[in-house]
Amino acid sequence: MSLIGVAKSYGDVEVLRPFDLQVAEGEFVVLLGPSGCGKSTILKMIAGLEEATHGEIHVAGDLVNYVRPRDRNVAMVFQNYALYPHMTVRENIAFPLRMSRRPRLRRSTIDGRTLEAAEIVDLTQYLDRKPAQLSGGQRQRVALARAIIRQPAVFLMDEPLSNLDALLRADMRTSLLDVHSRIRKATLYVTHDQIEAMTMADRVVVLNDGRIQQVGEPHELYTAPANTFVAQFIGSPRMSLHPTSAGPDGLFRFGGASLVIDEDIAADPAAAMTVGVRPSALRVTDAGDACLAGRVRRRDYLGSDSYLEVQLSDGSSVMVRTDADSPLESGDDVHVDAEPGAFHLFDEAGDRVCSASARSRER
Ligand SMILES: Nc1ncnc2c1ncn2[C@@H]1O[C@H](COP(=O)(O)OP(=O)(O)OP(=O)(O)O)[C@@H](O)[C@H]1O
Ligand SMILES: [Mg+2]
């Protein structure tokens, strides 16, 4: 599937700037962004529920801008899966095939494909139940089966798991990926949950305010975010960001440390930059190994780790990941070391320029 120069406006309001997007056969692409950024609008344009203001939409090689929604060879799964309450699971799953006029299918074909779809989503023992007799996760699987049975070229999923509780959502992520690996169709999956995006996607498209911010594999987004928006949207707790400028030696400063740029890029020492560092790139250490020093202001205990908010000597603060059972508490003095390349420098527009390593702590 490919979108070329697609844009969307409602009257004068431009909700999506022109963008290109490709999803290869068998690829699982996640559209990630905050509420209102335009995620659902992209899916609706592909499904034909909204018209694209500009650009071309191709599904399985065909230009579909002027094709009716039901002839587009796509199937959409929504957050509100809207099953028919008076029909059994079997009837709900079969519904799209019973409604399709072209081609008119034989009863035995419909039954066979219903069973096949139910097997893929592991619902065969529930076929005679009504939706009210199912759990939320089972109902969501019925909705998925109803999309699978249409055998579309492209699956579009709009926050399909967000009605489920956290535990079930984690289970359903796994079963959705199992289903995907069995049917291997192009899938565009919308979420505002970065964990869902990072765990499920082959590639993630980060969207903010109607513009694509970055397209990349999860690892790439985490280690080399294109700008401050992506840097803070991906990763929890968030990357700490602070303004910085270069000293007389041409090195940027952060929390009392001097930063040496790793890459072969000259960051303009006269520029006002922003420096960012992830909690996972910092660790508590002895005074001798440290590049930063400060005082613990808060400790968040998460069971597997703890996160310390550390106020540095220059007044800025960072989050530092540490052992869950670390004895450090609010008010304690700490020394902190950073991994090589732990620091990211962003220019005035917020775009990432390069990574940097701390040289030493100035005493
Ligand atoms: N019919 C419409 N007329 C005018 N503006 C609209 C219309 N439909 C959507 N919008 C605007 O388009 C923008 C994108 O909406 P969209 O539903 O795509 O967001 P989203 O990323 O799916 O958000 P959410 O995560 O809350 O579902 C929003 O600012 C919304 O207010
Ligand atoms: Mg939406």
CATH number at residue 248: 2.40.50.140
pLDDT computed for residue 162 by the predictor: 85
Contacts 24+ apart (CB under 8 A), 49-56: 50/8, 52/6, 52/7, 52/8, 53/7, 53/8, 53/9, 54/5, 54/6, 54/7, 54/18, 55/3, 55/4, 55/5, 55/6, 55/7, 55/18, 56/3, 56/4, 56/5, 56/6
Q: DSSP letter at 132?
A: G
What is the per-residue pLDDT for 102? 66
Residue 61 sits in a domain whose CATH number is 3.40.50.300
What pLDDT sits at residue 360?
A: 60
Pocket of ligand 1, candidates 12, 13, 15, 212: which has the most ligand atoms within 8 Å of its Cβ, to mutate?
15
> What does the DSSP 8-state code read for residue 11?
T
- Look at ligand 1, atom 1, and give the residue with the nearest C-alpha: 10
Residues 277 and 200 in one domain: no
Which residues, chain by chain, have CB under 5 Å from ion ligand 2? Answer: 40
Domain final residue, candidates 184, 210, 229: 229
* DSSP code at position 238: P
> Which atom of ligand 1 lies closest to the CA of 192?
25
**Ligand nearest to the CA of residue 31, numbered in listed order:** 1
Residue nearest to atom 6 of ligand 1 (CA): 10
Ligand 1 neighbour 35 (Cβ under 6 A): yes
| Widest Cα–Cα separation across the chain | 82
Q: Are 183 and 150 in contact (CB under 8 A)?
A: no
In whole angstroms, give the CA distance from residue 72 to residue 235.
36
146 lines ligand 1 (CB under 6 A): no
In a shared domain, residues 40 and 185? yes
Last residue of a domain, one of 202, 229, 256: 229
Centre of ligand 1 from the C-alpha of residue 350, in Å:
25
Q: Are 194 and 236 in contact (CB under 8 A)?
A: yes
Out of 210, 229, 248, a domain closes at 229
**37 Cα: distance to centroid of ligand 2 (angstroms):** 8
Site to substitute for ligand 1 among 6, 8, 9, 10, most atoms within 8 A of C-beta: 10
Check pocket membership of 41 for ligand 1, CB cut-off 6 A.
Answer: yes
Q: Residue 19 is part of which domain span?
A: 2-229
Domain match, 107 and 200 both: yes
Which of 40, 43, 156, 159 to mutate to test ligand 1, by most ligand atoms within 8 A of the CB atom?
A: 40
What does pTM read for this prediction?
0.92
Query: Ligand 1 center to residue 342 CA distance, Å?
Result: 36
**Is residue 109 domain-shared with residue 244, that is, in the same domain?**
no
Asked if 212 and 260 sit in the same domain, the reply is no
Per-residue pLDDT of 306-325, as tens digits, reads: 999 999 988 899 999 999 99
Q: Which ligand is nearest to the CA of 16?
A: 1
For the CA atoms of 113, 119, 121, 125, the dihedral, rounded to the nearest 10 degrees, stands at: 110
Per-residue pLDDT at 363: 43
CA–CA distances in Å: residue 142 to residues 7, 10, 113, 115: 33, 34, 14, 12
Length of the chain equals 363
Tell me: do 130 and 44 sit in the same domain: yes
- 15: Cβ below 6 Å to ligand 1? yes
**Ligand 1 and 8: CB distance under 6 A:** no
- Please count the structural domains in the chain: 2
DSSP 350: S
* CA 270/CA 247 separation, integer angstroms: 9
39 lines ligand 1 (CB under 6 A): yes
Residues 252 and 206 in one domain: no
In this structure, the answer to whether residues 151 and 279 fall within a common structural domain is no
Say whether both 206 and 62 belong to one domain: yes
Does 351 lie in the same domain as 223? Answer: no
Residue with the smallest CA separation from ligand 1 atom 24 is 35
In this prediction, residue 53 carries a pLDDT of 98
> What stretches in the chain show pLDDT beneath 70?
101-102, 360-363
Same-domain pairing of 156 and 7 = yes
91 and 200 in a single domain? The answer is yes
